[in-house]
Structure 1
Amino acid sequence: MILDQTKNTFLLQGDTCCWICDKCEEYEYVHDEFTCKDCGSGFWPYKDKLSCYALELQYMRWHTPYAFIPAAFSCLGIIVTFAVIILFIKHNDTPLVRASGRELSYMLLFGIFLCYLNTFALLAKPSTEICIIQRFGIGVGFSIIYGALLTKTNRISRIFDSASKSAQRPNYISPKSQVFITGTLIAVQVVLTLVWMIVEPPGTRFHYPTRNQVILKCKIQDMSFLFSQLYNMVLITTCTVYAVKTRKIPENFNESKFIGFTMYTTCIIWLAFIPIYFGTGNAYE
């Protein structure tokens, strides 16, 4: 008679033979009276140890605080961003809006909106389509924001550098030129993201941090994700340098001071993000 959760082992000691029962491992099932077999990755034995069942896939659920709280903040951010866009449109022809650089401001607001929207892609159940959206959203969204900020600070820096040397107006400071420069900076990130998708095709994979845990994740290696953000880090670093250079300009152009404060904060956040990202790489939450 076979005992549940055990296998029989035959022992021979001199002229006496007997049987003892060895307990199967917690991830094994009783294949026959002599053998325990591993259920395999993604499977776990029933309580009676006679067969195995597929483990439930783990991924971010919308009803959990880990998803609900970021989604709520993103909704609030989207509402505020839309309110600012409407305010800009309403006062589109006023001197204040024109002085702030309407075109770059709209691009900046669109980048912020895209980043807030990407939160929902990061919280959604992983699929090939969702993973594609995540890659484009994270990379391109940040490049729109920091590309626009870099173009703004570069323009201010060149204007004051030129004014201190000659009365000649510097090149490429018109709104069309600024949009073209920003668009070029964004296009670089788009190309890099496309290359990333060719080298590492998007998709999903199963991750097994423990024997009884299966996590559904996008097929992205930790290092490849960081490499994909190197270009944005270059934009952030360059923008921070220009923010430092323009920190002492007249009060009428104090927008650069706010940009500088934003960039200092961004650098701190990104420096904190890297160890946190690697330290919690196995946790989908």
Structure 2
Amino acid sequence: MLLDTRYARAVILFASDEDIRGILNASKRADQVGHFLWIGSDSWGAKNSPILQLEEAAVGAVTILPKRATISGFDAYFTSRTLENNRRNVWFAEYWEENFNCKLMSSSKKDDSSRKCTGQERISIDSKYEQEGKVQFVIDAVYAMAHALHNMQRDFCPENSGICADMDLAGGKKLLKYIRSVSFNGSAVLVTFNRNGDAPGRYDLFQYQWSNDIPSSVCSLPCKTGERKKVVKGMPCCWHCEPCDGYQYQYDEFTCKLCSYNMRPNANRTACQPIPITKLEWSSPWAVIPVLLAMIGITATILVMATFVRYNDTPIVRASGRELSYVLLTGIFLCYIITFLMIAKPDVGVCSFRRIFLGLGMCISYAALLTKTNRIYRIFEQGKKSVTAPRLISPTSQLAITSILISVQLMGVFIWFIVDPPNTIIDYEEQKTFNPFKARGVLKCDITDLQIICSLGYSILLMVTCTVYAIKTRGVPENFNEAKPIGLMMKTQTHDEDSDS
């Protein structure tokens, strides 16, 4: 059984000499010499008999003995004891026979071959003598009882010099109380008892060793950093080590706790640290490709606008509705510009411009196209009824209508600013990975999906309305150069929007 627990190496022995020898011999047979640390009680103490010829197996053993003191005067008293002056001790005759290996009387237990005692033998002269180590404790025990009886007699029988009836009937529990209450200078130290009746522990420690190496003995090894102890039930010194996993950190030696939503454990899982913040970088492929396309679109838009400016007064430019064409090109330009705002590092200013331009470019473009298609539709519908031109078809009127349509979008954005001011947030859920050390918080503008839909919803409404007018004007003459391309574009755009949805 001692080998079942791998790291438990200390063995406490409360055993006789024979049992101690048996255990040491068993460890030697199992080839475990030096593996165990033996801790022996006072039955082993300073004796060599338990380890005779087993010294190698006992290396490192620690034993204890109650601290003893030699009582001066006792040796002179005891060595002067003889059969004549110590008749009151009924066991002294038996001790005499054993000490001098002789026989005193026919009733003696010694065998007949033993010589007869003369009575003239002397202790320490005719035999070996060494003061027994427990003499001190015997003397102190006798005095403790004497002090307790004296104090008890004084309390129960103050008027008597001996035992009275009250003391005779007091019982053992009360006597025990008086014994535990005594305090006096004993034969070597102060004699006193604690509330449990135990005297202060005073021991001599012995170690049988050939080297200064101190082996370790544990049921379980200490847990590593970032691991908690799961104590084995009924065995407080034994535990299993469980790692703190996921987003947990080691709160104390027995507990793992979860880091807050914006934190992750550090490398050794002893504390939490902030999750690194990331954003879309300009060097990312997700940014480079859109920027490249946006630059191409911006360049093309500027070239077209420059061409319009150069040929501003030519019949073909004027016939195309140059005022609304400039508005349309401005809207297209803003649609490309929003790419840079979406990649820029979010802050209050960037988030404000994102809200403004998110749907503004599309709104301007579709407002201009809607005004154009509506103008064409009204002209041809009016032509079916009379030769009088419809109202509000002049360039100034067209710009006014377009401005009104655009102002609705701007009014919605203004209300959005008041209800929910622009702000930045850090989204910790978007890139929260199973491995906490790869987790990142994403810095972004505080714009929800619903808000984006609402911002683009008005532009979609303009696009659908424009598509309706484009369908209605599909039968215009071939030489009316704007209606059919607009109709084709609106149908294509509507189809793309449906696919995205």
Scaled by the length of structure 1, what TM-score is found?
0.91
1:1-285 pair list within 5 angstroms: 1-13=222-234, 18-209=238-429, 210=432, 212-274=439-501
Return the alpha-carbon distance in structure 2 between the equivalents of residues 72 and 265 of structure 1.
24
Of stretches 42-51 and 114-123 in structure 1, the one that deviates more from structure 2 is 42-51
Q: Match of 2:225, SS?
A: coil
Return the alpha-carbon distance in structure 2 between the equivalents of residues 228 and 135 of structure 1.
8
Q: Match of 1:251, SS?
A: coil
Return the alpha-carbon distance in structure 1 between the equivalents of residues 371 and 329 of structure 2.
15
Contact 1:42 1:213 (C-alpha < 8 Å) held by counterparts: no
Of stretches 179-188 and 222-231 in structure 1, the one that deviates more from structure 2 is 222-231
Contact 1:139 1:193 (C-alpha < 8 Å) held by counterparts: no
State the Cα deviation string for residues 94-133 of structure 1 (Å, max 9, x = none): 0100000011000100111111111100111211111111
State the Cα deviation string for residues 20-68 of structure 1 (Å, max 9, x = none): 2222122111122122222222322222112333222232111111100
Contact 1:7 1:36 (C-alpha < 8 Å) held by counterparts: yes
Return the alpha-carbon distance in structure 2 between the equivalents of residues 17 and 138 of structure 1.
65
Return the alpha-carbon distance in structure 1 between the equivalents of residues 353 and 455 of structure 2.
14
Shift of 1:16: 7.2
Of stretches 95-104 and 263-272 in structure 1, the one that deviates more from structure 2 is 263-272
Contact 1:59 1:215 (C-alpha < 8 Å) held by counterparts: yes
Return the alpha-carbon distance in structure 1 between the equivalents of residues 496 and 344 of structure 2.
24
Contact 1:139 1:232 (C-alpha < 8 Å) held by counterparts: yes
Q: 1:139 to 1:173 in 2, by over 3 A?
A: same
Shift of 1:235: 0.3
Return the alpha-carbon distance in structure 2 between the equivalents of residues 199 and 267 of structure 1.
31
Contact 2:227 2:243 (C-alpha < 8 Å) held by counterparts: yes
Return the alpha-carbon distance in structure 2 between the equivalents of residues 111 and 16 of structure 1.
75
Residue 443 of structure 2 aligns to which amino acid in structure 1? L
Return the alpha-carbon distance in structure 2 between the equivalents of residues 170 and 104 of structure 1.
18
State the superposition RMSD in angstroms. Answer: 1.5
Structure with the higher helix share, 1 or 2: 1
Return the alpha-carbon distance in structure 2 between the equivalents of residues 199 and 266 of structure 1.
32
Of stretches 30-39 and 81-90 in structure 1, the one that deviates more from structure 2 is 30-39
Shift of 1:190: 0.2
Residue 401 of structure 2 aligns to which amino acid in structure 1? I
Pairs aligned (count):
273
Shift of 1:17: 5.6
Return the alpha-carbon distance in structure 2 between the equivalents of residues 230 and 262 of structure 1.
19
Residue 10 of structure 1 aligns to which amino acid in structure 2? V
Q: 1:52 to 1:17 in 2, by over 3 A?
A: closer
4+ runs deviating over 6 angstroms:
none
Return the alpha-carbon distance in structure 2 between the equivalents of residues 202 and 164 of structure 1.
51
Return the alpha-carbon distance in structure 1 between the equivalents of residues 451 and 291 of structure 2.
26
Contact 2:223 2:241 (C-alpha < 8 Å) held by counterparts: no
Shift of 1:228: 2.0
Shift of 1:218: 1.1
Q: Match of 2:251, SS?
A: strand
Residue 237 of structure 1 aligns to which amino acid in structure 2? V
Return the alpha-carbon distance in structure 2 between the equivalents of residues 161 and 12 of structure 1.
92
Return the alpha-carbon distance in structure 2 between the equivalents of residues 265 and 133 of structure 1.
29
Residue 296 of structure 2 aligns to which amino acid in structure 1? L
Q: Match of 2:241, SS?
A: strand
Contact 1:196 1:228 (C-alpha < 8 Å) held by counterparts: no
Q: Match of 2:250, SS?
A: strand
Return the alpha-carbon distance in structure 1 between the equivalents of residues 470 and 282 of structure 2.
39
User: Structure 1: any 5+ residue segments left out of the alignment?
Assistant: 275-285
For CA contacts below 8 A with separation 6 or more, give which structure has more relative contact order.
Answer: 1
Q: 1:12 to 1:103 in 2, by over 3 A?
A: same
Residue 182 of structure 1 aligns to which amino acid in structure 2? T
User: Structure 2: any 5+ residue segments left out of the alignment?
Assistant: 1-221, 434-438
Return the alpha-carbon distance in structure 2 between the equivalents of residues 154 and 89 of structure 1.
25
Q: Match of 1:252, SS?
A: coil
